[in-house]
């Protein structure tokens, strides 16, 4: 059973930066693809970015491309989401997620491909 925990959210002014972390326990995290999603009240969960199990492949939503960077440190069992040039529309609860299958190769942005989810961390960007 994969257990994921996000951290690093908070309040930041527009144009600022935050780094989110996604930690895992109970599994060999280095075998799992990890994705970041976000959700605002009344809206569906939205894909943000995903990274392959070995960190060699990344894929971003157009809305964050060039501003956000996903990376991982498998020795630390942690995946990061570096968020720069933040905008008020980036305000959301951010979730990390992993598929059930290890070594999942597809850079999927589909929510239903991800089985395990963290509890989320709130990011608020003020204008």
Give the DSSP H or E segment for 4. strand 3-7
* pLDDT band per the 50, 70, 90 thresholds, residue 2: confident
Q: What is the mean pLDDT of residues 4-25?
A: 97
Q: Give the pLDDT of residue 27.
A: 84
89-112 tens-digit pLDDT: 999 999 999 999 999 988 999 999
Query: What is the chain's mean pLDDT, rounded?
Result: 95
* pLDDT band per the 50, 70, 90 thresholds, residue 19: very high
Give the DSSP H or E segment for 78. strand 78-83
Q: Give the pLDDT of residue 114.
A: 96
Q: Compute the distance between CA of residue 18 and CA of residue 59 in angstroms, rounded to an integer.
A: 19
75-90 tens-digit pLDDT: 999 999 999 999 999 9
- Is the pLDDT at 63 greater than 80? The verdict is yes
Residue 103: CB atoms within 10 Å:
12
- Is the pLDDT at 1 greater than 80? The verdict is no
Q: Which residues contact 22 (CB under 8 A, 6 or more apart)?
A: 4, 5, 6, 34, 36, 78, 79, 80, 81, 96, 118
Q: Does residue 2 contact residue 104 with C-beta atoms inside 8 Å?
A: no
Q: What is the mean pLDDT of residues 64-75?
A: 97
Helix (H, G, I), strand (E, B) or coil at 112: helix
């Amino acid at each position: 059973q994969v257990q994921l925990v996000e951290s690093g959210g908070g309040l930041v002014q527009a144009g600022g930066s935050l780094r989110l972390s996604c930690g895992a326990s109970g599994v060999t995290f280095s075998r799992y693809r990890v994705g970041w999603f976000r959700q605002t009240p009344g809206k569906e969960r939205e894909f943000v970015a995903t990274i392959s199990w070995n960190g060699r492949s990344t894929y971003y939503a157009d809305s964050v491309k060039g501003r956000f960077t996903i990376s991982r440190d498998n020795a630390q069992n942690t995946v990061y989401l570096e968020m720069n040039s933040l905008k008020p529309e980036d305000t959301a609860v951010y979730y990390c997620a992993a598929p059930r299958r290890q070594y999942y190769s597809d850079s999927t942005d589909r929510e239903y491909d991800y089985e395990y989810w963290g509890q989320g961390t709130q990011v608020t960007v003020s204008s």
